[in-house]
Structure 1
């Protein structure tokens, strides 16, 4: 065969092979279904290492293509923080924003995720919870995998099998004390049951919350990061004047200092033990404390401030509150519903939002229709007893107290209340003889009356001209104020703060 003939044959073979491969790729089918979903080995990549110095950790994520055809991930990227904390290697290619990643039919790829943490950085750069998302976009549909790591050296309380969900905290009816000097960080919600949890003076409890959208169509969104006390659980908080116990959201940067709704709140369910909170400073939650279902709760020297809904909720409960401040709620400061037994001594309840009431009391519950009205035959009642002494209920409305008696006065023993030596913001109730008969030595404040130093700036100490000064009656068992300062022996002041020049 001549040289020319050999070249002709070689080019013919090359042309045939090129045509064959071109035909193969042209005819290949790639999954373009916009409803197609990738499958992941986990929906959350959880770095549970706590670093005391600068360190890093790596976790593996596997991405599956369950389709009978190849798929192309048009983009895979870390959503936020520009890779400051998290970095990834996807199918052997490093990068935090990659394109056109191919997964063959019935095949998978590996993703190696890495986090780098410096716990000595300030909380702005390395907060307690480092949270990001790894987004995969395929056929115009985006799926996300959560990336979570600990950014500070602390005690983290979470369900490692299902992060962000409810974690059961139990100790076989024993006692556990959180006495580590490092902060405690709750990720998700905590259920205390068959255990007494004691929180000593100076403890710092930070809760990671946020709005949760449930998958169910009829399920309402809720704020995560709640602490539940079950029927056989008990929560005891032993703060002191010098070292109060603090409950906060886990974002401590300046821009979050006054942001409410960062975490859920504390719920006590039908606990058969007395839950006692002393010198508790709770802020920036969705609600403060809910004492539910015949629960007994004792509060003293406690601040519940800057909440979305209500500072304190009692539902058929027994609550004793002494030297407490319930302030800065968008909803009612204190809600007492379905009866119960309630005592408030030396409490300040300023409603500065002007959108609701400082306190409400009723003695019933019911199933409601779409308009919020009780469905006939569903009303249940329970005796309500309220005693308020040496306290302040103030606000911007004409009336800062709301009473709803299911019996409308026909059964007085089922709806009992009294106010003694207190400052009350009421208008219509001044004309109510029944209300007047149940009050003793109270001052009905006017809009021009001075009470606090500056309630608009959350300075709820008494002003030098406050009408609450010197009107309280001494209670032998209560000698100090919310800060632990000794009150005047003969003419103490109403409210949680004793005036001191």
Structure 2
């Protein structure tokens, strides 16, 4: 009999504890505290769902609390939706009898899908509140979202579930569509204005013999696996201009369509600007490209020069600019951070870069800043003439030991020259291509392995001041009167795209 006493006592204790008053919930009475006092859901495009945002709700009291209602202020009409501690509630809008144990917490996850017509017409904000309880016990957390109206460009979807594709070489295809200058909804899709931002899904292609024009201040946001293709005999004309603030209000900006701050510098969010074989007469001025796989890909253009001025390429997962048998004339160019190479000029071509800044602090032992070659392994022909690769008043820097690579095949010409450039190459090489001090044919006034002291490379601020090794080291013979920001250059000029100045505020 004594063996039954212990289990009997345990059962009695459990039953007694189940009846204790401190396991009963009490009504909420403004005891809740929150991880945020306002939830700002970052800018979204009209009718495109937002990311999910989190609010943590704390019960700091010593009693278990029952919240009679947790709801959105606009009720079932709200464009927000929630889950509360994993519960869906009534359409994600209304939750009843939500309990929080003493000294415990719960999570609320919030999303929205709203149209610009839902927002306040004066500031384009869509707002609501999360309401906890009611009456004297009411506690609220405001919700705020900026809604941007946009022009959406995307491939057609067919009845069988497939989507429109574009033909590539070797019978390959890619998800994409041709821009239409007479589209019944968007009008002229080949003329990008600054009236609304554009959101592109898939690859938008410029048809043969057509020109895509981008006005100053236009904004293009690319979804995953999307980009811009300029086809044979087609042209790209980007007409940005200098801006007066860090908002880049007059720049043409290409970037990914994830607008949350945590995606501001994430590489590889979209594909590339692709100037294909045979495309022609390209002009690029004041373009900023962010977070692409390849910022600008130029392949075998038709012999006309790609003019690139006052443009920036940041955080590309592979290349900032990848040129293959291309002709480029560039000035005031900035490329920073690329997973493979910031600037790659390969398979020959003709290249001129003046007053440009190239930097690569990518966290990889194999990344390069500038790579120049006259061949591509396996290509037909494998080697092509590099008729010219001239760099003047430039900075080539980064966090690796050697940031310049010159690679050639003897079966094709390989002509290059660096004048008044700061180059990081610390190895004492015996290879003929890297005789910076003694090879007067290819090198003139080279500053080797000195720090340009950029303001902040992680924030893409590659400005310099008078303490930089690049200060006043340029040649006036190739001076570009204005820097990338529109500041007047002095004589002798500074190296790179920026005229030296005080640290930006």
| Length-normalised TM-score, structure 2 | 0.62
**How do residues 108-127 of structure 1 correspond to structure 2 at under 5 angstroms?**
117-119=114-116, 120=119
Deviation at 1:231, TM superposition (A): 0.7
**Cα distance, 1:241–1:472 mapped onto 2, change above 3 Å:** same
Local SS of the residue matching 2:294: coil
- Of the candidates 250, 269, 276, which is equivalent to residue 262 of structure 1? 269
Deviation at 1:192, TM superposition (A): 0.9
Moved more, 184-193 or 383-392: 184-193
- Of the candidates 282, 288, 292, which is equivalent to residue 285 of structure 1? 292
Deviation at 1:125, TM superposition (A): 8.6
Deviation at 1:284, TM superposition (A): 1.1
Deviations 1:322-352 (A, max 9, x none): 1010101121111111111111101100111
**Cα distance, 1:51–1:283 mapped onto 2, change above 3 Å:** closer
Deviation at 1:476, TM superposition (A): 5.9
Local SS of the residue matching 2:262: helix
Moved more, 288-297 or 276-285: 288-297
**How do residues 203-214 of structure 1 correspond to structure 2 at under 5 angstroms?**
203-209=218-224
Deviations 1:296-343 (A, max 9, x none): 421110000011111000011111221010101121111111111111
Distance across 1 between alignment mates of 2:446 and 2:114: 58
Instruction: Name the counterpart of 1:364.
Output: 375
**How do residues 447-458 of structure 1 correspond to structure 2 at under 5 angstroms?**
449-458=451-460
Moved more, 434-443 or 462-471: 434-443
**Cα distance, 1:176–1:379 mapped onto 2, change above 3 Å:** closer
**Cα distance, 1:426–1:186 mapped onto 2, change above 3 Å:** same
Local SS of the residue matching 2:217: coil
Q: Is the 8 A contact 2:280 2:301 kept in 1?
A: no
**Cα distance, 1:154–1:336 mapped onto 2, change above 3 Å:** same
Instruction: Name the counterpart of 1:415.
Output: 414
Distance across 2 between alignment mates of 1:431 and 1:203: 49
Distance across 2 between alignment mates of 1:229 and 1:474: 36
**How do residues 88-103 of structure 1 correspond to structure 2 at under 5 angstroms?**
none
Deviation at 1:185, TM superposition (A): 1.1
Q: Is the 8 A contact 1:469 1:492 kept in 2?
A: yes
Deviations 1:407-462 (A, max 9, x none): 1xxx6x7001000011011134764455424100111124xx34312334432111
Q: Is the 8 A contact 1:361 1:404 kept in 2?
A: yes
Is residue 134 of structure 2 the alignment partner of residue 158 of structure 1?
no
- Of the candidates 193, 199, 204, which is equivalent to residue 214 of structure 2? 199
Q: Is the 8 A contact 2:275 2:301 kept in 1?
A: no
Deviations 1:134-154 (A, max 9, x none): xxxxxxxxxxxxxxxxx7421
Distance across 2 between alignment mates of 1:170 and 1:430: 54
Distance across 1 between alignment mates of 2:215 and 2:177: 21
Q: Is the 8 A contact 1:193 1:234 kept in 2?
A: no
Local SS of the residue matching 1:339: strand
Distance across 2 between alignment mates of 1:340 and 1:443: 26
Is residue 481 of structure 2 the alignment partner of residue 479 of structure 1?
yes
Is residue 296 of structure 2 the alignment partner of residue 297 of structure 1?
no
**Cα distance, 1:124–1:399 mapped onto 2, change above 3 Å:** farther
**Cα distance, 1:169–1:475 mapped onto 2, change above 3 Å:** farther
- Of the candidates 194, 199, 208, which is equivalent to residue 185 of structure 1? 199
**How do residues 123-138 of structure 1 correspond to structure 2 at under 5 angstroms?**
none
Instruction: Name the counterpart of 2:499.
Output: 498
Instruction: Name the counterpart of 1:251.
Output: 258
Local SS of the residue matching 1:255: helix
Instruction: Name the counterpart of 2:355.
Output: 346
Cα RMSD for the two superposed structures: 3.2
**Cα distance, 1:431–1:253 mapped onto 2, change above 3 Å:** same
Distance across 2 between alignment mates of 1:157 and 1:85: 27
Deviations 1:380-407 (A, max 9, x none): 2101121000000011222111111111
**How do residues 372-383 of structure 1 correspond to structure 2 at under 5 angstroms?**
380-383=382-385
Deviation at 1:294, TM superposition (A): 2.8
Please list every run of 5 or more consecutive structure 2 residues that lacks an aligned counterpart in the other structure: 1-44, 49-78, 83-89, 93-111, 128-146, 158-162, 166-174, 183-187, 244-249
Q: Is the 8 A contact 1:238 1:277 kept in 2?
A: yes
**Cα distance, 1:264–1:306 mapped onto 2, change above 3 Å:** same
Instruction: Name the counterpart of 1:463.
Output: 465
Instruction: Name the counterpart of 1:139.
Output: none
Local SS of the residue matching 1:358: strand
Query: In the comparison of the two structures, how many residue pairs are matched?
Result: 344
Deviation at 1:188, TM superposition (A): 1.6
Deviation at 1:366, TM superposition (A): 3.0
Local SS of the residue matching 1:500: coil
Please list every run of 5 or more consecutive structure 1 residues that lacks an aligned counterpart in the other structure: 1-48, 53-82, 87-93, 97-114, 127-150, 210-223, 368-373
Instruction: Name the counterpart of 2:36.
Output: none
| Length-normalised TM-score, structure 1 | 0.63
Local SS of the residue matching 1:286: strand
Instruction: Name the counterpart of 1:398.
Output: 401
